[in-house]
Each structure stands twice: as C-alpha cells, then as structure tokens.
Chains A and B, each alone.
Chain A
Amino acid sequence: MEQSVLKINHLKKIYHDKNGEVEAIKNIQLDVFDREFLSIVGPSGCGKSSLLSILANLEKPTSGDIEFAKPNLKIGYMLQSDSLFPWRTILDNCLLGLEINHSLNDTTKKRVIELLKTYGLGDFIDKYPSSLSGGMRQRVALIRTLATDPDILLLDEPFSALDYQTRLALSDDVYRIIKNEGKTVIMVTHDLAEAISLSDRIVVLTKRPSEVKKIYNIEISNKSTPINNRTTPEFSAYYDKIWRDLDVHIQ
C-alpha cells in the first residue's frame, strides 16, 4: 500500500488572462500511493480541478513537476459532466478512448462489453444516452474511462450532478467497480461525507492559492461499503475534524 505511484513536487500554477493573473496553486507537495483511494477536499475555487488537469497533462504547471514511479503509467480522467455523445450508442461512447488511441480490437471491445454487463448496463449497450438516467450516465462515463485500462483514475466531483439517493447508491457502485479493477484513485469532491466514506486518505487544501493543509489517514475499524462506513463512530469524528479544517465562513 505504501508504495508511491506518483509524486507531486512543489507544484505551482498561475493562470494568465487579459484581466490579470490568478495564482490557483501555490505549492502542492504530495505522494500518491499505489491502489489507494485518495480524496482531495478544499474550498471552492482553490485549484482542485486545476490540479487534476495538470495530472492529466491537459495543462502545464507553472513550476514544479509530477514524478511517476513507472514510465507510461496510463491516466484516466473522468470529468465532472458525463459528456456522453448523444449521437453514439452507449457501447460506442465507451469505445471512444480505445478508438482515439488506436487500440480498439476484438479483445478490447469484448472487455468493454463485459464491463458494461458486469455493472448493470448490459441492456443498454445499443441504446442512446438520452434513454439513461443521471446515475446510469455517470456509470457509463466511468466505464468509458476504465475502457482504456488506466492505472490511475482522476475523478472530478463524479457525483455532484446527482440527487442524494442516487449519489449514495452510485458511490457504492463506483467504489465496488474501482476496487474490483484495482485502480489508484484521486477524487475531488465538495462532499465531506462522501470523501470520508470512500477514501483511504483525505488531503485538505487551503483556500486559493492552495497548499496542502492536512492529510488524514482514514481508519475505520469495521470498514465495509461506503454507505455502511457512514454509520461508524469514526466517521463523525473525522467529519468534525475535517469540517473545522475547511474553516468555512458564511458571509
């Protein structure tokens, strides 16, 4: 568990536009361990999405770097919006990543179909996204991300667009899927309860420009599914502590 897959070294990100510059990330120093579920929480606008975008190589850091334990580690990035293409069937949506990096063949296609079947979307393979509920769409988006078999998964508020019930159920599903597939996960969320119930560790960021404020190892004695984790005594203790760290003021 304690073997690191990637190291974020003195990462800094400044955005420039014609109205001036914004320092989003001041200095983030962080190790991410193999197969852990790591959540990142922090005040709105503190640079969480920016951090994921840099990890996914969509943006360049202003300074600092990301050091990967192995070369060619594959990263899968699940965006906040599901972004399913309405003109593609569910299966074709999930094959998108494979098509783009030219690795679509019978074996990989079969694997995706298996994933869809295993996670309750077997009946929808040839349907279009418009016939799916929000929770299902989000699951398709996850499978689309898993289809390229990434080593590290980046999730940007994967449940935020859903209602509370769906959110609870889906976070259980997603947890199960990710653990089954043996992935390292870095998840950004606004929802503390979600972070505590899913994660092995939680990183709390300061407000913008962000730095790491604190890191919690989440140790729950009877750890089981995310929904059950919420009922443990440790859960509320963590909730309390992290809530204080976030230092939310209502103005």
Chain B
Amino acid sequence: MSTYSDDHNKFLKKLKREKILIKITQISIIIVFLILWEVAAHYELINTFLYSSPSKVFKTIISLYSKNNLISHIGITIYETICSFLIASIIGIIVATLLWWNKFISKVLDPYLTVINSLPKVALGPLIIIWVGASTNSIVVMALMISLIISIINIYNGFIATNESFIKLMKTFNASKMQIFTKVILPGNVSTIINSLKINISMSLIGVIMGELLVSKKGLGYLIMYGSQVFNINLVITSVVILGVVSYIMYYVISLIEKKFIK
C-alpha cells in the first residue's frame, strides 16, 4: 500500500466513499419505505386488512415462528430449491458439454430446446402432479422444468461462443478434443457458468414456489396459497417478505462463490 502515490490513495479513498454512500442510500430506501408504510397504516391511510403493515408482518413472523413451525416451511422451500438448482446445474453442464461435443446432436435437438424453452411451464403443472404425484418430488420436477432448459441453453451458448482463434491455436499444437474442452472451453467459460448459476437459482425458486402453490402442504408457497384461501392477506404479505429475504440470501451465496472464482 505504501508504494502508492498520494494521488492514488486519494483515488482509492474516493472509491471507498462512493461505495459506502451507495450502501447507505440503499438501506435508507428500505427504512423510509418501511416507515411510510407503517405511518400510513397507523393513520389508516391504507386499509391494513388489505395492505398489512410492518409491525403486523413482524408480529405474524413471530407467531408463525412459535406456533406454525416457520423454520420448517422456509427449510422445505430452500431444500427444494437447492435440489432443483443442483440437478439443473449439473445436468445443464453435462448436456451443454454433450451438445458442444457432438454437432449432430446439437443440430438435431436445437428446435426441441427452443420449443420447450418457450413453452409456459405452468401449463405442465397439472400433468406433473398426475405423473409424479403431489409430493416434494413433483415440486422439484416442476422447478427443474423451468431451470434446466435455460441452464443448458445459456451454458451451451457460452461454449460455442468461445473465441475461434483459441481453438485454432490448440489445434496447431495437435490438441485432442478433450484437451480443447478442459484447457479452453471450461476455463474460458467460468463467468458464463457462474452467470447461469445465478439465473438458475432464481429460476429454481420460481419453479418451487409455483409448484408449492399448486400442490404442497408445506413451504412458503403453501403459506401464500393458504393465506389467500382463508383471506388472511397479512399471512400472504408476510410470506412474500420472507421469500424476498430468502431469495436475496441465496443470490448472495452465489455471488460469494463468484468472488472466489473470478478474481
């Protein structure tokens, strides 16, 4: 550090100050929002039966926690999401590799992937319940429908967009296809793969919630569904808030992984 010039230190300080300012602003926005919401509810500017309020949400969280086993609802949703995320990531990388490896297969499958990808997956929900049964499995399958194809497509597109001249260079050294894959395609696509993991975790969560809305007896999606059926809007809003926090935490974990891989 001591080797930097004064100017550079000033520059670093400025960067740091800017970063702190951004954080403070972000936190202030949430706080202001919560205060406005609470105040509006308190002075009955909004109907708390329909729009709830931060303090009601907080009370609901406490009571869910003590009476309704909130942790296990959150746990099951996270568990299903992680299952779907892991399966989609692993199969996604394997299938993308196969497609890259064999041009014939990729050309044959191309229109199928496009069609399946553009199909609204919700439409398949009822079928999956019939085929797989109303269980955790069917929720994971539904989440997979949403996350898998997009993972395959993203990773495969990264693979085929690899710089042609890198591959030509490998060929000048008589590299085998396996060597081209391990020395160029994979290391050259670390950021593509991590980006697709980020998309994948959101897609998996969307799929899980969709699945839970359709079938389950447990999970955040179930709480939302149940709340709306008994017209307990406070419960619905609380569940959505928890869902937001959960999805942020999962996204955050992936970006920690990203920092580890991309320096």
Contact = CB atoms under 8 A, between A and B. Distances in A.
A97 B169 CA distance: 9
Interface of A is mostly: loop
A85 B187 contact: yes
Interface string B170-199: 111111000100011001101000000000
Interface stretch (A9-17, A76-84, A237-245): A76-84
A100 B183 contact: yes
A227 interface: no
Interface residues of B, number: 17
B193 to A, nearest CB: 13
Interface stretch (B11-19, B27-35, B48-56, B160-168): B160-168
Contacts of B163: 83
Contacts of A85: 166, 184, 187-188
Contacts of A57: 174
Contacts of A100: 170, 173-175, 179, 183
B174 A87 contact: no
Contacts of B184: 85
A87 B185 CA distance: 12
A83 B166 contact: yes
Nearest to A93: B169
A72 interface: no
Contacts of B188: 85, 87
Q: Which of A56, A88, A100 has the most CB of B within 10 A?
A: A100
Given A85-B187, A87-B190, A79 B169 contact: yes
Contact of A99 (B165, B183, B190): B183
Contacts, number: 40
A39 interface: no
Contact of B174 (A83, A99, A101): A101
Contacts of A76: 172
Interface in B131-178: 163, 165-166, 168-175
B159 to A, nearest CB: 15
Nearest to B191: A87
A58 B171 contact: yes
Given A85-B188, A87-B187, A101 B165 contact: no
A148 interface: yes
Contacts of A83: 163, 165-166, 168-169
B187 A96 contact: no
A58 to B, nearest CB: 6
A88 B171 CA distance: 18
Given A58-B168, A79-B165, A83-B165, A97 B173 contact: yes
Contacts of A58: 168, 171-172
A148 B169 contact: no
A104 to B, nearest CB: 12
Given A85-B166, A87-B190, A77 B172 contact: yes
A148 B169 CA distance: 13
B75 to A, nearest CB: 38
Nearest to A58: B171
Interface in A68-115: 76-77, 79, 81, 83, 85, 87-88, 96-97, 99-101
Contacts of A79: 165, 168-169, 172
Contact of B173 (A81, A87, A88, A148): A148
Contacts of A81: 165
Nearest to B166: A83
Nearest to B167: A83
Contacts of A56: 172
Given A81-B165, A83-B169, A85-B188, 14 more contacts: A58-B168, A58-B171, A77-B172, A79-B169, A83-B165, A85-B166, A85-B187, A96-B169, A96-B183, A97-B173, A99-B183, A100-B173, A100-B175, A101-B174
The 6 closest A-B pairs by CB, nearest first: A77-B172, A83-B169, A100-B173, A97-B173, A83-B165, A100-B175
Interface of B: 163, 165-166, 168-175, 179, 183-184, 187-188, 190
